[in-house]
A and B are shown apart, each in its own frame.
Chain A
C-alpha cells in the first residue's frame, strides 16, 4: 500500500481512526486485503465480482469497513456486495470509493450493494465518495443501493461526496416492512463541469413504516445536479423528503418530487428549496468579522458537513 492508497483510504473510510473489525479493501478491481471475524463473515462470490457479508444475529456494536480505491486510469470496475444482517444485530458499515486518476483515461466504479435487514436489526451505513488526481480522465462513481427491511429494522445512511467526482449516478431502492425505519442524509458538492444524479425510490409496504430523506446539495461552477425522489405509501406510513440546494456561479440543481399515497392512511411530504446563499446569512457572519468569501465557505461547510 503506497502513500496515495493510504490517503484515499483515510478519506473514504476513516480506517486510521477505528480499531479494525472485519474489512475488505478493494484496489483497482482486485482484493487488496480482507479480514473476516466470527461475528461478521465475508465470503467472496463465486460467479461474479464481489462479496457476501453475513452479520450474525444479535451481534452488537461492531464495525465493518469495505473501502474501494482506484488509482489506475481506464479502469471500469463493477462489484456486487450483498449484506445479510441477522436479527437484532447492530452494526456500522463504512463503505465508499476513492478514485485518484492522474491519466487521461476515464476510470469508473459501479458498486451494486444490497442490504437485507433482519427483524429488529440496525445498520448505520456511511458512504463517502472522493475523486482526485490532475489527469483529464473522468472519475466516475455509480453506486446502486437496494434495501430490504424486515419489521422493526432501522437503517441509517450517510452519503458524502465533496467534489472531484466527474459524474455520479446514485440510485437507492428500498422496501420497508412493518414499523421499519429508514433515514437517509445525503450531502453532495459538485464543481466545474461535474454532474451528480440521485434517484430514491422507497416503497413503504408495512404499517407504521417510516422514511426520512434529507438531501443537501451545493453546486458550483458549471456543475449540474439532479435529485429525483419517488415515495410510494401502501399502508399507514410516513415519508418525508427534504431537498435543499445552494447554487453558486452558473450551476444548476433540479429537484423532481414524486409521492404516491396508495393508502389513505399514508402521509407523504416532499419539500424542496433551491437558491443562492441567503443574504442575511452572509451579512450575519460578516458582522462577526468574516469576509464575504469566508462567510460563504463557512455556510457551505456547515450545510454539507454539519
Chain B
C-alpha cells in the first residue's frame, strides 16, 4: 500500500556526504500500526518527513497505492490521503483552532463535529475553537490540537512524529486508544514502551539503516541492548 524503495537521504557536510538514511526498503500494509524507533540521530524523523514530502530523497522511490509519489508536493500527497502530525506543533498568529480544523477536514464543521475532533484528544471544544493557535496555548494543548487536526483529515495513512511529547497530564492510554481506533495505516515515531507495545510492527533504525523489523517482543532486546551499548559491541 505504501512502499519505500531503496530510499536514501544524504546531506553534504564539508567534503563528505553524510548518510542520514541509506537504502531503506519498507512495505507498510493497509490498516496496520508501525512504530519507528531507534536512538537519537538514527533518521526516524527524516524518514517520516520524506514520506510526507517535507524533505526530498537523494535516491529511491516512494510508492503509494501503486502511484510513484516521490516527486509530488506535500499538499499533493495530503490530497492522496497522507496526514502528518508534527513533533513540534506549528503556531500561527491569528488563525483559530476552528479554522484549522475546517481546513484539515476540508469542510465547514458544525460545533458538534468540532467537539468530536477535540474531545478525542481530551479537549473541550467550547474552550478552544475560537482561540488562536498561537503560543498562548501550552505545549500540551498545542500537541493535542495537532493530533486533532490529523484526526480531522480522516486519511488513509496517518503519520505521527513523537506524538507523546508534551502530553503530560493526559494518559497514554487515551493516546494509544486513538491509534488503535484509527482504521488507517498508522506510522508513529516513538520511544515510548506503551506505544511500541501496540505496534503490529516495530521498525528499529540505527545510523540511518533499518536494523530490525518485528513485533515489539522480538525487537525489545535489541532496543534495550542498544541503550546499554551491547548492540554497538555486537556490531564490532
Residues of A whose CB lies within 8 Å of any CB of B are 216, 244, 278, 280-281, 283-292, 295, 298-299, 301-306
Q: Tell me how many residue pairs across A and B have CB atoms closer than 8 Å.
A: 67
Evaluate contact between B95 and A302: CB separation under 8 angstroms.
yes
Hey, which chain B residues are within 8 Å of A216, CB to CB? 93-94
Given A289-B103, A289-B106: A284 in contact with B86 (beta carbons within 8 A): yes
Compute how far the CA of A286 lies from the CA of B84 in the bound complex, rounded to whole angstroms: 10
Residues of B whose CB lies within 8 Å of any CB of A are 52, 54, 73-75, 78-79, 83-84, 86, 90, 92-96, 99-100, 103-104, 106, 132, 149, 153
Min CB–CB distance A217 → chain B (angstroms): 12
Question: DSSP class of B's interface residues: helix, strand, loop or mixed?
Answer: mixed
Hey, which chain B residues are within 8 Å of A281, CB to CB? 90, 92
Hey, which chain A residues are within 8 Å of B153, CB to CB? 288-289
Evaluate contact between B93 and A285: CB separation under 8 angstroms.
no
Given A283-B54, A298-B95, A306-B132: A288 in contact with B104 (beta carbons within 8 A): yes
29 pairs of residues in contact across A and B, judged by CB atoms under 8 Å: A216-B93, A244-B93, A280-B90, A281-B90, A283-B54, A284-B90, A285-B103, A286-B75, A287-B78, A287-B83, A287-B84, A287-B86, A288-B103, A288-B153, A289-B75, A289-B106, A290-B103, A291-B73, A291-B75, A292-B73, A292-B75, A298-B99, A299-B92, A299-B95, A301-B94, A302-B95, A302-B96, A303-B92, A303-B93
Min CB–CB distance B71 → chain A (angstroms): 15
Evaluate contact between B78 and A288: CB separation under 8 angstroms.
yes
Evaluate contact between B79 and A289: CB separation under 8 angstroms.
yes
Evaluate contact between A302 and B93: CB separation under 8 angstroms.
yes
Evaluate contact between A288 and B94: CB separation under 8 angstroms.
no
Min CB–CB distance A280 → chain B (angstroms): 5
Hey, which chain A residues are within 8 Å of B92, CB to CB? 281, 299, 302-303
Given A284-B86, A287-B84: A306 in contact with B100 (beta carbons within 8 A): no
Evaluate contact between A286 and B78: CB separation under 8 angstroms.
yes
Among residues of A, the one whose C-beta sits closest to the C-beta of B52 is: A287
Evaluate contact between A283 and B74: CB separation under 8 angstroms.
yes
Compute how far the CA of A3 lies from the CA of B98 in the bound complex, rounded to whole angstroms: 35
Q: Which among A284, A286, A292, A305 is the interface contact of B94 at CB below 8 angstroms?
A: A305
